[in-house]
């Protein structure tokens, strides 16, 4: 079954925790960055559904028990645009199609001379100003930061289409997460 991704809850969570860490989660700031960990938290707040498949899933139980997609920019991208499986899912869209609650990843040209882009940072769209996305992010704590203030060579906009899961309303899960009481 596919149910609605609650963009409002994802943005509410982002606004609360962009400038400080939810104590339920580890902080990866000193070991590669905390941006995708934060984005995963936001999408979890809007979906209340993890995918517990080893290696290819998207979940966080503890600092030592999490899927690569929870904290890695490229792994997160591959998880989100997959064809099946539990949890939030989406697709790349043109910037004009992006909405609040969607994800932006930015990257730079590869430094080794090979073609391609190394995507290194993820942000959640929390608003717009004159058509420009305003984002929330961690690693460098940001809230309502215009996308144009970042330096990058390429961007990809990821629209969250919905959540594959059993029926149900994520309200109780969201409240526990938002109040830093429980992951479930």
| Model pLDDT for residues 150-162, shown as the tens digit of each residue | 999 999 999 999 9
Query: What is the reported pLDDT for 167?
Result: 67
* Cβ neighbourhood burial of 96 (10 Å; 0-12, 13-18, 19+): exposed
pLDDT category of residue 31 using cuts at 50, 70 and 90: confident
**51 or 113, greater pLDDT:** 51
Rg (the chain; Cα; Å): 15
| Closest residue by Cα to residue 47 from 93, 1, 82, 16 | 1
pLDDT category of residue 29 using cuts at 50, 70 and 90: confident
| pLDDT(98) > 70 | yes
Query: What is the reported pLDDT for 33?
Result: 81
| pLDDT(116) > 90 | yes
In the beta sheet, which residues pair with residue 106?
121, 155
Q: In a 3-state reduction of DSSP, which class is residue 53?
A: coil
CA–CA gap between residue 11 and residue 98 (Å, rounded): 14
| pLDDT(110) > 70 | yes
Could you say which DSSP state residue 58 is in? Answer: B
Alpha carbon of residue 57 to chain centroid: 14
- Give the pairing type, strands 103-109 and 154-164: antiparallel
Query: What is the reported pLDDT for 183?
Result: 86
Reported residue count of the chain is 184
């Amino acid at each position: 079954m596919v149910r609605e991704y609650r963009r409002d809850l994802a943005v509410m969570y982002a606004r609360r925790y962009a400038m400080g860490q939810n104590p339920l989660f580890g902080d990866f700031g000193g070991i590669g960055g905390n941006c995708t960990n934060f984005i995963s938290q936001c999408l979890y707040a809007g979906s209340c559904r993890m995918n517990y498949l080893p290696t290819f899933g998207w979940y966080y139980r503890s600092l030592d028990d999490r899927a690569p997609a929870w904290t890695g920019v490229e792994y997160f991208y591959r998880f989100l645009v997959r064809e099946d499986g539990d949890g939030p899912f989406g697709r790349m869209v043109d910037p004009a199609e992006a909405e609040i609650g969607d994800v932006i990843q930015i990257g730079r040209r590869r430094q080794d001379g090979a073609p391609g882009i190394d995507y290194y940072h993820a942000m959640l769209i929390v608003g717009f100003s004159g058509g420009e996305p305003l984002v929330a992010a961690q690693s460098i704590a940001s809230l309502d930061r215009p996308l144009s203030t970042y330096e990058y060579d390429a961007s990809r906009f990821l629209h969250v289409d919905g959540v594959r899961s059993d029926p149900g309303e994520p309200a109780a899960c969201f409240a526990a997460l938002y109040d830093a009481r429980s992951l479930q």
